[in-house]
């Protein structure tokens, strides 16, 4: 039976993938997005193009230009529609940006999440609720794992760490960045709605979530922004760690497939690390080489000695917990395909719009 689904942050990377995926399945999708990415990151962060794209391709999609901080607006929406599933992707998503806007960051990430959890509890407590959280809730605790330096990347030194960081990593008493702390507040509140109220709430702690629907900017969306610079020009800055910092990358499509697995068999209050895992991991240096190779030109990049405050040195999501609960799920989009899609998308957008 078709579901009634609410997606917040529906013009963003993950939100828009969720809209198009569930729309294709025949569900009715409502999206909330007020293009606040443009407020955070300026013109380059503007998501209007993605909203226009969704309006073109989706058959059963209703967009609401609503702010998740607006409790009264949310109340009216939840009164009018009974949702079976809430996919909560709206956020101030940048680790570094949060230091300039601590109150706005907290209001959107923490309070906005509580507004949605509470509206769900009051109006559709049976609904599945998926929160997109982040690996930054672990602060820089992952940097305490012993590392070894290889030619092009950092890697975990001990065999027991091979699969990466699991959900037992502590989130307390570590440096998070204000973003990590506001997201950790949301993450804990969401767990509570699952554990205390027994609601079907699930938390995905994202590694690098990526794909062509990202409006990549310097402060958020590293692969997308890297490709944008390679195609449109400019200088890419790499901050510290000898350019050997490692990230695991997951295509937005695989994230949404994980959501579908959850909604078909929800487990209240569960937390899962959600990234590309070891196979889809890449270091900064390796990513630069790959993008140069695939775009057929040299990238203009600059090395800045000082690393970003609280930045991870090597982060690979251990996906074994999610896979054990949902054995049918696996990564389907590999790193080369992710690069190909982002490059193809920027190339076609650049040829239509001129330099992006
Ligand atoms: N992309 C990543 O690498 C990554 C990694 C870990 C976690 N996450 C998390 O996943 C979620 C989705 O990330 P994304 O990459 O799709 O981000 P995104 O910035 O592409 O999308 C977020 C959307 O939310 C909208 N938005 C922001 N504030 C809003 C508000 N107050 N009201 C309504 N809409 C608002 C923005 O306009 C934007 O379109 C976020 O919670 C983010 O923290 C992302």
Q: Which atom of ligand 1 is nearest to the CA of 14?
A: 16
On the 0-12 / 13-18 / 19+ scale of CB atoms within 10 A, 49 is middle
Q: What is the pLDDT of residue 66?
A: 98
With a cut of 70, say whether residue 173 has pLDDT above it. yes
pLDDT in tens, 260-269: 999 999 999 9
Helix axes 13-24, 252-264, angle to 10 degrees: 60
With a cut of 70, say whether residue 353 has pLDDT above it. no
pLDDT in tens, 183-213: 999 999 999 999 999 999 999 999 999 998 8
Q: What is the pLDDT of residue 221?
A: 81
Q: Which atom of ligand 1 is nearest to the CA of 11?
A: 39
Count Cα neighbours of 326 within 13 Å in the Cβ-side half-sphere: 20
Choose between 354 and 26: higher pLDDT.
26
* Binding site membership of 219 for ligand 1 (Cβ less than 6 Å): no
* Binding site membership of 186 for ligand 1 (Cβ less than 6 Å): no
Question: What one-character DSSP code corresponds to residue 163?
Answer: T
Q: What is the pLDDT of residue 346?
A: 85
Q: What is the pLDDT of residue 351?
A: 63
* Binding site membership of 318 for ligand 1 (Cβ less than 6 Å): no
Region 57-63 average pLDDT? 97
Residue nearest ligand 1's atom 34 by CA: 33
Q: What is the pLDDT of residue 355?
A: 42
With a cut of 90, say whether residue 13 has pLDDT above it. yes
With a cut of 80, say whether residue 350 has pLDDT above it. no
**Cα-to-centroid distance, 109 and ligand 1 (Å):** 9
With a cut of 90, say whether residue 17 has pLDDT above it. yes
Residue nearest ligand 1's atom 15 by CA: 13
Among 9, 212, 213, 250, residue to substitute to test ligand 1 (most atoms within 8 Å of Cβ):
9
* Binding site membership of 134 for ligand 1 (Cβ less than 6 Å): yes
With a cut of 60, say whether residue 352 has pLDDT above it. no
**Cα-to-centroid distance, 92 and ligand 1 (Å):** 6
Res. 55 pLDDT band, cuts 50 70 90: very high
Region 46-57 average pLDDT? 96
Region 162-169 average pLDDT? 98
Q: What is the pLDDT of residue 212?
A: 87
**Cα-to-centroid distance, 344 and ligand 1 (Å):** 23
Region 62-87 average pLDDT? 98
* Binding site membership of 14 for ligand 1 (Cβ less than 6 Å): yes
Among 93, 112, 187, 281, residue to substitute to test ligand 1 (most atoms within 8 Å of Cβ):
93
Res. 348 pLDDT band, cuts 50 70 90: confident
* Binding site membership of 36 for ligand 1 (Cβ less than 6 Å): yes
With a cut of 70, say whether residue 356 has pLDDT above it. no
Mean pLDDT of the residues in the chain: 95
């Amino acid at each position: 039976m078709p579901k009634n689904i609410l997606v917040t942050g529906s013009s963003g990377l993950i939100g828009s993938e969720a809209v198009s995926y569930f729309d294709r399945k025949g569900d009715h999708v409502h999206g909330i997005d007020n293009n606040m990415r443009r407020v955070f990151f300026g013109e380059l962060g503007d998501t209007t193009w993605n909203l226009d794209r969704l309006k073109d391709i989706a058959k059963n999609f209703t967009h609401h230009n609503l702010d998740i901080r607006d409790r009264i607006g949310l109340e009216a929406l939840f009164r009018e529609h009974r949702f079976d599933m809430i996919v909560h992707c709206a956020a101030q998503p940048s680790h570094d940006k949060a230091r300039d806007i601590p109150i706005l960051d907290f209001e959107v990430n923490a309070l906005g999440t509580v507004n949605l959890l509470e509206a769900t509890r009051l109006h559709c407590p049976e609904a599945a609720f998926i929160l997109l959280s982040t690996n930054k809730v672990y602060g820089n605790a992952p940097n305490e794992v012993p590392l070894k330096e290889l030619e092009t990347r950092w890697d975990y030194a001990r065999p027991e760490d091979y699969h990466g960081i699991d959900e037992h990593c502590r989130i307390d008493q570590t440096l998070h960045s204000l973003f990590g702390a506001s997201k950790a507040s949301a993450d804990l509140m969401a767990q509570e709605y699952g554990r205390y109220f027994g609601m079907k709430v699930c938390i995905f702690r994202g590694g690098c979530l990526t794909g062509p629907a990202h409006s990549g900017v310097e402060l958020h969306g590293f692969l997308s922004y890297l490709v944008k610079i390679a195609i449109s020009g400019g200088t890419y800055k790499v901050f510290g760690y000898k350019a050997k910092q490692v990230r695991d990358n997951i295509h937005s499509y695989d994230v949404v497939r994980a959501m579908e697995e959850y909604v078909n068999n929800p487990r209240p209050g569960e937390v899962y690390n959600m990234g590309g895992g070891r196979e889809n991991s890449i270091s900064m240096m390796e990513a630069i080489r790959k993008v140069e190779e695939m775009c057929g030109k040299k990238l203009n990049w600059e090395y800045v000695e000082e690393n970003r405050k609280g930045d991870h040195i090597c982060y690979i999501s251990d996906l074994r917990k999610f896979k054990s609960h949902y054995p049918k799920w696996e990564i389907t989009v590999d790193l080369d395909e992710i690069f190909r899609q982002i490059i193809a998308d920027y190339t076609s957008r650049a040829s239509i719009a001129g330099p992006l």
